Amino acid sequence: MEIFLYRQDAQSVEEGFSASHLPQLLADKTNVVWVDLMGDTDEGIEEAKQVLLEIFHFHPLTVEDCVETRNAPKVEAFPDYFYFIVHGIRPEETHHTNFVTKELDGYLGANYVVTFHIEKFQSIKVVKQNVRSSTFACERGAAYLLHQVLDNIVDLYMPIVDDFDTAINDLEERVFQTRSGYNILLEEIMDVRRAVARLKRISARQLEVLYRISHGEFPQIPAPVLPFYRDVHDHLLRISDLSENYRDLVAGLMDMHLSVVANRTNDVMKLLAIFSAIMLPLSLIAGIYGMNFENMPELKSAHGYYLTLGVMLLIAVVLMVYFWKKGWIFQPAEHEIKVDPSKEE
Amino acid sequence: MEIFLYRQDAQSVEEGFSASHLPQLLADKTNVVWVDLMGDTDEGIEEAKQVLLEIFHFHPLTVEDCVETRNAPKVEAFPDYFYFIVHGIRPEETHHTNFVTKELDGYLGANYVVTFHIEKFQSIKVVKQNVRSSTFACERGAAYLLHQVLDNIVDLYMPIVDDFDTAINDLEERVFQTRSGYNILLEEIMDVRRAVARLKRISARQLEVLYRISHGEFPQIPAPVLPFYRDVHDHLLRISDLSENYRDLVAGLMDMHLSVVANRTNDVMKLLAIFSAIMLPLSLIAGIYGMNFENMPELKSAHGYYLTLGVMLLIAVVLMVYFWKKGWIFQPAEHEIKVDPSKEE
Amino acid sequence: MEIFLYRQDAQSVEEGFSASHLPQLLADKTNVVWVDLMGDTDEGIEEAKQVLLEIFHFHPLTVEDCVETRNAPKVEAFPDYFYFIVHGIRPEETHHTNFVTKELDGYLGANYVVTFHIEKFQSIKVVKQNVRSSTFACERGAAYLLHQVLDNIVDLYMPIVDDFDTAINDLEERVFQTRSGYNILLEEIMDVRRAVARLKRISARQLEVLYRISHGEFPQIPAPVLPFYRDVHDHLLRISDLSENYRDLVAGLMDMHLSVVANRTNDVMKLLAIFSAIMLPLSLIAGIYGMNFENMPELKSAHGYYLTLGVMLLIAVVLMVYFWKKGWIFQPAEHEIKVDPSKEE
Amino acid sequence: MEIFLYRQDAQSVEEGFSASHLPQLLADKTNVVWVDLMGDTDEGIEEAKQVLLEIFHFHPLTVEDCVETRNAPKVEAFPDYFYFIVHGIRPEETHHTNFVTKELDGYLGANYVVTFHIEKFQSIKVVKQNVRSSTFACERGAAYLLHQVLDNIVDLYMPIVDDFDTAINDLEERVFQTRSGYNILLEEIMDVRRAVARLKRISARQLEVLYRISHGEFPQIPAPVLPFYRDVHDHLLRISDLSENYRDLVAGLMDMHLSVVANRTNDVMKLLAIFSAIMLPLSLIAGIYGMNFENMPELKSAHGYYLTLGVMLLIAVVLMVYFWKKGWIFQPAEHEIKVDPSKEE
Amino acid sequence: MEIFLYRQDAQSVEEGFSASHLPQLLADKTNVVWVDLMGDTDEGIEEAKQVLLEIFHFHPLTVEDCVETRNAPKVEAFPDYFYFIVHGIRPEETHHTNFVTKELDGYLGANYVVTFHIEKFQSIKVVKQNVRSSTFACERGAAYLLHQVLDNIVDLYMPIVDDFDTAINDLEERVFQTRSGYNILLEEIMDVRRAVARLKRISARQLEVLYRISHGEFPQIPAPVLPFYRDVHDHLLRISDLSENYRDLVAGLMDMHLSVVANRTNDVMKLLAIFSAIMLPLSLIAGIYGMNFENMPELKSAHGYYLTLGVMLLIAVVLMVYFWKKGWIFQPAEHEIKVDPSKEE
């Protein structure tokens, strides 16, 4: 548990308080208090529960939700404060196109922010540094302080969204390459598809939460701070739009993959048909002159063998011309298509 | 029929009443009365009808709906009470990914809860145990008591949702395995798809009901109890989100299955094309030298046979190199793909 | 034209009036009058027009709509009455999964119900019998009488919905059976798909109409009768939900069918590939020893023929083991899949 | 430019006025004036602009929109009048399933209707005839006159919708016929699909316009005339519903076409597999006995040849029975499926 | 930075002011001031920031958004002004069906317009010329001036939309041509699909912005100017409708492409099947008479060889007639389908 106190009169940020100081700090309405609770250990959770229930007297249900994970983003109003859940994301270690969500629970009151999280949050670390290095983040009150946390969380979505962009462009090139293992490619496409769908869903729920927070529904956020929340909302909206966009692109990838496989099966079939169409008649001719009839005059002619070979060659050439005219053979290769890397705005 | 009575003055829970006591118990507005009616026998249904119509004087239409099954979740307001239908689910015995819904009908008045069900409800059993073991569940009034029933019903959705997760991960692995029977796999995917679609539909209707109940539409639920209902609503929302998620995953499975079959057909075609492309020319050569022309000088040469075999071998090698260059043969196997088990949040 | 009169003072239902009595009957506001007009003959239509325009003075446009068919369900308010169109359905004679819609037009005023239909309505016949056998249906006024007609119409949707259930389960089993003619099956699936889509559309429009009627928009329906209309609305909602469900199931059938055909093509290809892969090399060997080179030492060896046959057998066995390892042959048959009949709630 | 004047006092319709009379005619509020402007020539457009801007003083933007084509249906309110754009349709000459839209612009004021169109409108011609033959169309005022124009425009949608019905039924039959050229069929399906999608889009926008006009938003339409507009709206709603329906049917056609092609490929594959499976083993046997080994005892036996032929026949029969058992050959033909022509309501 | 000043009293447009004049110019409420800021250089951005923050005192967040790119279109209200982001588009140099978006940020106050852009805007250049050549554009105030900028931006969408039309018609023709490289065609279809999807998304967001601006939400736009904004909105609506339309057409293209490939695979299969079905039996016959049995009476007959050849010919003819009856060969070519160029309205 870390407690930050900004005293308006002193214009300074102090640290190092413990839970027992809180009632007194909160009583002074000109103070801005930030309590950051970590739930990474059982003791941390116990302590958090105690602080939330016995010092802040938050609604027990919200405290329960705090401690649990697996909650969807939401915001709930109470007379003196509101409770919210938002999700941060970070890239998964092994798959660069996959990501892990982590839950941030929090409360905003008139002069305090409470945050609770089980995993470490890069964005909270950044805001703490800001708070320590300058009083700027605290001067505008608790609502502005919370805005900074949310802003940093949403900003960390962007690198992951950019990774999707790279991954989809990469897959698009590989879809047309002959040597790609079909099933490996397929699995990767499905991985991105799942990740994009998750991003869309997560940002949709968060958008609802941020929309409500940023449109003046909660009196804890004074009007001059609202534009800052709307700004966070708009950033998330852009991420949501991009993930919608990626969803279309991935669906397009899947369609392309299926078409490319169908085209290749078509190519294989053509090759087989050409080979069969040329070889079978020639084999038939050879088979005919391999018959053992006693009376087959051609067999006795001096040039019969050479004539037969000539006819075979002729048939082969005629059929090849026929298939070339149909466009089945000797077409320019088309696998070196350049995929335009700048297709996204 | 089981009747529970919580007397506020006595702060105790009593049992063992019969229908004839009800009017008296209900008359005392400080009491909390819970009447649980079982419709598993014809007598039970008759008794329930009598109690609902003649003691509680509920609207006859709602009593009809109570007794019938095959109703969708709903909630209907009347001046002194509201009537609701919600659905509980339990796993089907044979298919672990399928589930059975059962209907719970009920009424909430100022100081009473009436529940009616034909099948046994695990969740009602749990709440009865709570009521017997402590007065806590009753102290906050009838609305809080009902909340506990609903909360337990929704909690029992979660294990089934987790089963879907397991089933989908399992299917995902099997889609890429060569030896899976295609049609068996297909049937299993369709089973999960149907079950997920049902879960989505059922939770959508319930969400409507819980949304209306939890947003203060009914005066039978006092404001301090509303957050508890909202909590149930949020849990169900998460289940609904998850089933939406599973629907996408199952649709993805289906697409993957189709792609994998297309890829395998492509592989089979390639094998056939390769075999034909190599064997047919060799057979032609053998056929040519099996012709019976009298004048075929090669046949007389001492090494003609060995040369012919050599040419055949050469053709075979050249064609195999060609196909290897095209990436059709001697590719690394790609069936041992590891499916990442942690792809869901 | 049939006219039913319920006199509140006499508490009896009378019949046998003609159009000329109507003004007098309607003038007594305590009466409940039901005028059922049949438009199956040209005279019937003429009479109906006259009654509607000259006795009831309904808006001419609604009278035009009455007489036409091919109208969508709707409800339109006028100062003293409202006009509605609803659709009844009955199974088509030849296709048990298809159905025919028929239009019921009507008006509800303070003390009268007017119904007009061109086809016979089973549901109207039932209500007439009720009216004749007991005054119960009329005692609660015109609005309750109309409710009974609508209730019976909606009840007759259910058997058709159950037919869909049976038809879809039947098709599901046949999709996996090998001997089903593909195109016949396909045509039947499309028939059910069309019928289900129509049911969905028809019930969607009706739901709108019933929603408006049952939510107190029209003063002709007194508040105590509204729950009865809401009940009809809820029944139709369930039918609409079921048809939504069937739509998913039929879409699933179509996907399954396509997958099964793809799987079978894959099976055929495998068989072809196996036959070719085994036969072509053996034929090549036979072809080689059928060449007429003079110097082919093997031909002279005493056991050459048997050795060759042995080598052929060996190659065949090796290739069959190879294909068995690949899982292409000697797999357990998978067509006897049991489809679980209880998959719907 | 044609001007029609209905004088309420004279109860007659007069014609033959020019632009200069208009201010005077409009000044008498009991008159009903209809100005129909044709924009098929440059002079017509110039004249129209002048009349609209200098006599009626309409907003310049609406006059600009009038003169342009390529506008979407819309309605815009101004203090004394409203401006609207609606689209009429007529079948294209060459494709009976395609249609051409034409734009009708207009203004409705208290006592005047102004219409502007570049192409001829069948519906306007009809209304003009009505106006000339009877004063009925004008008696109820300008709003009723406009209603007649719109009603006629919407009525002319119906024959085109019926053409879709015929075209789709025809395509449905041809999808199952073997001799249909695949790509011609495909192109025709796509043509209908495009036309239906356009109809849906066009009627959707018009519905919005008619909904606003028919729900009392504009004071130029007196309440008693509103039901007539609602009637037009309902007719268009039915057309919109039908086009929604056709969209489903065409999507079904496309699915059917793909399935039929897949089934036929499956049939072709089976034929190929059967031929190969029967011919290749027999050829192998012939090849074996065509080998030139010196020591092949069978060759010397008197009945070896006949035995071999017998064995070949036996193998052929056994394989054919096998394929018949698998259901691959000698199945009843299934191309003569009758498509039920009455599948639409 | 360019500053335009329209003095109402002087009725003239002046230029050549610098930032320091601005406070004075803005103070006179009868002036109309347009400040166009270019952010193409770092100095430009610095200057812009200074002007926006220190002279106009706009909200710092909006200034931040101005300077950044990658923002979605939006509009935000402040007491004295509103801030907006809209996107212009221009064709990409290399792909005529792709386009590049560029961001225009701006502010509208009572008597000023501020625009900020990093890329050059054709539409702003046009409005500057108008402003210089006539006072007309300024006379109606700042809101009308801004309308002109937006109108020109939206007008420049149209040529790109027309390019899509051409590109889709072109692709439609090529889908049916045999010689088109499948994958190149596929890639082009996907390119158009992506571009159309982007256009749809971009215009959707802009529509929201223009809807809000044009419906009287902002007091900076006086009522008489609103119709001009609604006109811009309607133009954009038409573009949005067209892009919706193109999305359907491109989805249709993709379906057609897949069907055409399926049909061609079917054709290839048929050819293969026909060749095999004709050649394999003939080869078998040749193989049979190539066997070396001593007792094969046919071999000795004088006409055996010719009879055999005759039988072969007969079999070939019979099979070809069979395949012709099945409609597999000698069908009229169907690749010369004319695609009707006028299929879009």
The predicted-structure confidence for D48-76, as pLDDT tens digits, reads as follows 999 999 999 999 989 988 888 777 889 99
Q: Mean per-residue pLDDT for E210-219? A: 92
Residue numbers in D near C301 (CB within 8 A): 295
Considering only alpha carbons, which residue of chain C is nearest residue B198?
C245
Question: What does the alpha-carbon distance between residue C88 and residue C155 come to, in Å, rounded to a whole number?
Answer: 10
Query: Residue B139 pLDDT more than 90?
Result: no
CB atoms within 10 A of CB D15: 12
Question: What does the alpha-carbon distance between residue E196 and residue C200 come to, in Å, rounded to a whole number?
Answer: 32
Question: What does the alpha-carbon distance between residue C173 and residue C154 come to, in Å, rounded to a whole number?
Answer: 30
Q: What is the pLDDT of residues E244-263, one digit of tens each?
A: 889 888 988 888 888 888 88
Determine contact, residues E80/E110, Cβ cutoff 8 Å. Answer: yes
Closest CA to D171 of D264, D263, D255: D255
Determine contact, residues A334/E184, Cβ cutoff 8 Å. Answer: yes
Determine contact, residues E273/E326, Cβ cutoff 8 Å. Answer: no
Closest Cα in chain C, distance from residue B142 (Å): 25
Name the helix (H) or strand (E) containing A332: none
Closest Cα in chain A, distance from residue E132 (Å): 33
| Helices vs. strands in chain B: H and E counts, helices first | 11, 7
Q: Do residue B265 and residue C266 have CB atoms under 8 angstroms apart? A: yes
Q: What is the pLDDT of residues A264-282, one digit of tens each?
A: 888 888 888 888 889 888 9
Closest Cα in chain B, distance from residue A260 (Å): 10
Judging by DSSP bridges, how do beta strands C81-91 and A112-117 pair with one another?
unpaired
Closest Cα in chain A, distance from residue B293 (Å): 4
Which one of E258, E283, E289 has the shortest CB-CB distance to A283? E283
Residue numbers in A near B278 (CB within 8 A): none
| Helices vs. strands in chain D: H and E counts, helices first | 11, 7
Which one of A191, A283, A309 has the shortest CB-CB distance to B283? A283
For residue B203, what are its two tokens?
């939770």
Residue numbers in A near B252 (CB within 8 A): 190, 193-194
Judging by DSSP bridges, how do beta strands B99-109 and C2-7 pair with one another?
unpaired
Question: What does the alpha-carbon distance between residue E241 and residue E239 come to, in Å, rounded to a whole number?
Answer: 5
Query: Residue E340 pLDDT more than 50?
Result: no
Question: What does the alpha-carbon distance between residue A129 and residue A4 come to, in Å, rounded to a whole number?
Answer: 11
Judging by DSSP bridges, how do beta strands D74-77 and D32-38 pair with one another?
unpaired
Residue of A293, A298, A322, A324 for testing the chain E interface, max E β-carbons within 10 Å: A293
Q: What is the pLDDT of residues D97-111, one digit of tens each?
A: 788 889 999 999 999
Reported as half-sphere exposure (CB side, CA atoms, 13 A), residue B334 has a value of 17
Cα torsion for B130, B134, B140, B143, to the nearest 10°?
Answer: 20
Phi, psi of C194 (to 5 degrees): -65, -45
Which residue type does C234 have?
Answer: D
Residue numbers in C near D228 (CB within 8 A): 61
Closest Cα in chain A, distance from residue B2 (Å): 30
Q: Do residue E178 and residue A284 have CB atoms under 8 angstroms apart? A: no
Per-residue CA distances from C17 to A88, C20, C34, C52, C106 (Å): 76, 8, 11, 16, 19
Residue of B61, B103, B198, B275 for testing the chain C interface, max C β-carbons within 10 Å: B275
Neighbours of chain B (3+ CB pairs under 8 A): A, C
Q: Do residue C241 and residue B271 have CB atoms under 8 angstroms apart? A: no
Residue B93, SS3 per DSSP:
coil
pLDDT score of E96: 65
Residue numbers in B near C277 (CB within 8 A): 271-272, 275
Q: Which residue has the tokens 């090549």?
A: C284
Which one of E259, E290, E345 has the shortest CB-CB distance to D258? E259
Residue of E69, E175, E177, E190 for testing the chain A interface, max A β-carbons within 10 Å: E190
Q: Do residue E258 and residue A258 have CB atoms under 8 angstroms apart? A: yes
Phi, psi of C40 (to 5 degrees): -80, -15
Residue E65 burial (C-beta neighbours within 10 Å; 0-12, 13-18, 19+): buried
Determine contact, residues D208/D126, Cβ cutoff 8 Å. Answer: no
For residue B150, what are its two tokens?
């609903």
Residue numbers in D near C309 (CB within 8 A): 288
Residue C133 burial (C-beta neighbours within 10 Å; 0-12, 13-18, 19+): exposed
Question: What does the alpha-carbon distance between residue C26 and residue C34 come to, in Å, rounded to a whole number?
Answer: 10
Residue A13, SS3 per DSSP:
strand
Which one of A284, A291, A295 has the shortest CB-CB distance to E289? A291
Residue numbers in E near D280 (CB within 8 A): 280
pLDDT score of A258: 86
Question: What does the alpha-carbon distance between residue E168 and residue E173 come to, in Å, rounded to a whole number?
Answer: 9
Closest Cα in chain C, distance from residue B132 (Å): 33
Considering only alpha carbons, which residue of chain E is nearest residue D75?
E234
Question: What does the alpha-carbon distance between residue D210 and residue D149 come to, in Å, rounded to a whole number?
Answer: 13
Contacts of C103-107 spanning 24+ positions with Cβ under 8 A: C103/C69, C103/C71, C104/C149, C104/C153, C105/C62, C105/C65, C105/C66, C105/C71, C106/C146, C106/C149, C107/C52, C107/C56, C107/C58, C107/C62, C107/C81, C107/C82, C107/C83
Residue of D58, D101, D271 for testing the chain E interface, max E β-carbons within 10 Å: D271
Which one of C72, C183, C286 has the shortest CB-CB distance to D337? C183
Closest Cα in chain C, distance from residue D195 (Å): 20
Query: Residue C180 pLDDT more than 80?
Result: no
Q: Do residue A194 and residue B248 have CB atoms under 8 angstroms apart? A: yes
Q: What is the pLDDT of residues D276-297, one digit of tens each?
A: 889 888 989 888 888 888 888 8
Which one of A252, A273, A334 has the shortest CB-CB distance to E271? A273
Q: Do residue E299 and residue A294 have CB atoms under 8 angstroms apart? A: yes
Closest CA to D65 of D80, D49, D88, D77: D49
Neighbours of chain C (3+ CB pairs under 8 A): B, D
Mean pLDDT of all residues in chain C? Answer: 87
Which one of D262, D266, D288 has the shortest CB-CB distance to C286? D288
Residue numbers in E near D270 (CB within 8 A): none
Which one of A186, A275, A299 has the shortest CB-CB distance to B256? A186
CB atoms within 10 A of CB E69: 16
Beta strand spans in chain C (E): 2-7, 12-14, 32-38, 74-77, 81-91, 99-109, 112-117
Residue numbers in D near E237 (CB within 8 A): 72
pLDDT tier for residue B339 given thresholds of 50, 70 and 90? very low
Q: Which residue has the tokens 């059962």?
A: B102
Q: Do residue D245 and residue C61 have CB atoms under 8 angstroms apart? A: no
Q: Mean per-residue pLDDT for C258-276? A: 86
Residue A321 burial (C-beta neighbours within 10 Å; 0-12, 13-18, 19+): exposed
Which one of B269, B294, B345 has the shortest CB-CB distance to A300? B294
Question: What does the alpha-carbon distance between residue A212 and residue A77 come to, in Å, rounded to a whole number?
Answer: 10
Q: Which residues on adjacent β-strands are paired with residue D88? A: D102
Which DSSP state fits A20?
Answer: G
For residue C259, what are its two tokens?
């997958």
Residue of B157, B214, B255 for testing the chain A interface, max A β-carbons within 10 Å: B255
Closest Cα in chain E, distance from residue D84 (Å): 13
* CB neighbour list of residue C11: distance below 8 Å, 6 or more residues apart: C135, C139
pLDDT score of D184: 83
Beta strand spans in chain A (E): 2-7, 12-14, 32-38, 74-77, 81-91, 99-109, 112-117
Query: Residue B80 pLDDT more than 60?
Result: yes
Residue B87, SS3 per DSSP:
strand
Question: What does the alpha-carbon distance between residue B59 and residue B72 come to, in Å, rounded to a whole number?
Answer: 18
pLDDT tier for residue D257 given thresholds of 50, 70 and 90? confident
Which one of C193, C257, C275 has the shortest CB-CB distance to D276? C275
Q: Do residue B70 and residue C291 have CB atoms under 8 angstroms apart? A: no
H-type alpha helices, C28-120: 42-50, 60-67
Contacts of A154-158 spanning 24+ positions with Cβ under 8 A: A154/A232, A154/A235, A154/A236, A154/A239, A155/A123, A155/A235, A156/A88, A156/A89, A156/A90, A156/A122, A156/A123, A157/A89, A157/A199, A157/A203, A157/A236, A157/A239, A158/A239
Residue numbers in C near D277 (CB within 8 A): 271-272, 275
Q: Do residue B290 and residue C293 have CB atoms under 8 angstroms apart? A: no
Q: Mean per-residue pLDDT for A131-151? A: 90
pLDDT tier for residue B202 given thresholds of 50, 70 and 90? confident
Quote the Cα angle for A227-A231-A234, to 5°.
135
Q: Do residue C61 and residue D249 have CB atoms under 8 angstroms apart? A: no
Considering only alpha carbons, which residue of chain B is nearest residue A59?
B227
pLDDT score of D181: 66
Pick the range with the lowest mean pLDDT from A75-84, B330-339, C78-87.
Answer: B330-339
Neighbours of chain E (3+ CB pairs under 8 A): A, D
Closest Cα in chain A, distance from residue E44 (Å): 23
Q: Mean per-residue pLDDT for A222-235? A: 91
Query: Residue C121 pLDDT more than 70?
Result: yes
Which residue type does D329 have?
Answer: I
Judging by DSSP bridges, how do beta strands E2-7 and E32-38 pair with one another?
antiparallel
Query: Residue D149 pLDDT more than 60?
Result: yes
DSSP string covering E128-160, please? HHHHHH-SHHHHT-HHHHHHHHHHHHHHTHHHH
CB atoms within 10 A of CB A305: 22
* Burial letters D114-146, b for 16+ CB under 10 A, else e: bbbbbeebebbebbbebbeeebebbebbbbbbb
For residue A156, what are its two tokens?
């960390």
Q: Mean per-residue pLDDT for D1-8? A: 90
Considering only alpha carbons, which residue of chain D is nearest residue E272?
D272
Closest CA to E159 of E97, E206, E251: E97
Query: Residue D179 pLDDT more than 90?
Result: no
Which one of B245, B294, B334 has the shortest CB-CB distance to A183? B334
Closest CA to C239 of C138, C130, C127, C162: C162
